[in-house]
Chain A
Amino acid sequence: MIELAYLSLAIGLIFQTFGVVALHRFPDVYTRLHGATKCTTFGSIFIYLAVIIIGAIQFFEGNTQGMQLSLHTLLVMLLLLLTNPTGAHAIARAAYRSGIKPALAVVDKLKGVRI
């Protein structure tokens, strides 16, 4: 059971690393946000999953604190799923409105639209 926790911890860390590399390699704010939102959300979910599994193991070994740990982490996971895309959307929208053009863009339908 504890091996499952280690496995999801490893998967989470790998995706977090991809997110960091994306921040370095991509040319502008929009493409960097792709790495920053998707990879960190997915990576964090797997890290939380590891914490939930460890909490459940502690609970079944007779430690009631374990369930508290699992429940709190589950709540944090749901709130992250809700807030992370919203934050990315806010940053992208603010960037576009302050005049940053998407780099290397082949098409820009938002150009000239009054919103």
Chain B
Amino acid sequence: MSFKITVVFSFLFYLALSAGSGNLGLWSGEELVFALLFAVISAALVSRIFNAVGLKPNKSFLSPKRWVLLIAYVAGPLFVEMAKANLDVAYRVLTGKIKPGIVKIPSGLKTNFGTTLLANSITLTPGTLTVDVDDKKNLYVHWIYVKKKEPDCGDICSNFPDWIRRIAE
């Protein structure tokens, strides 16, 4: 299972890298052969590593709905928050007004993938940087201008958990 998925993904990746190389569609014949060859070789190596580490493929990520949602999430709410984050940091850089601290927020998510996505989103949004995560999936966040000492998720990550629940759970 993990072998097949990796073959498909590395084949598509090679095609994306070599697009525009010939006249068979967008690719030349040799490139297509090489793409398939490299996809099989790399999948054979990678799936062995995945098995050794104990990673199992999660079939629910094959549904295209989640991929469309992920792209919509990155291009929509995440991008808007990133723009705000940059103006915020620019303001703090120019005025020097900072009141930093590390706060703890419960993420309320169940899966590891969802927590990773939330932690990365928090790092890219206004004035916050994820420092650590514990077993119960509470995030420890460095906040550059602490407004509340006991914040909940709504103060820091706007409506990200709703999106992430739909993408990752």
Contacts and interface: CB of A to CB of B under 8 A. Distances in A.
A111 B104 CA distance: 11
Contacts of B133: 115
Contacts of A92: 129-132, 142
A37 B129 contact: yes
B89 A18 contact: yes
Nearest to A33: B129
Tell me the dominant secondary structure on chain B's binding face: mixed
Interface stretch (B1-9, B40-48, B49-57, B118-126): B118-126
B100 A102 contact: yes
A18 B129 contact: no
Contacts of A41: 82, 124
Given A89-B130, A92-B131, A107-B149, A81 B101 contact: no
A86 B118 CA distance: 11
Interface residues on A, range: 35 or more
A2 interface: no
A38 B85 contact: yes
Most buried by B among A21, A65, A89: A89
Interface of B: 16-17, 19-21, 26, 74, 82-83, 85-86, 89-90, 92-94, 96, 98-104, 119-121, 123-124, 127, 129-135, 140, 142, 144, 146, 149
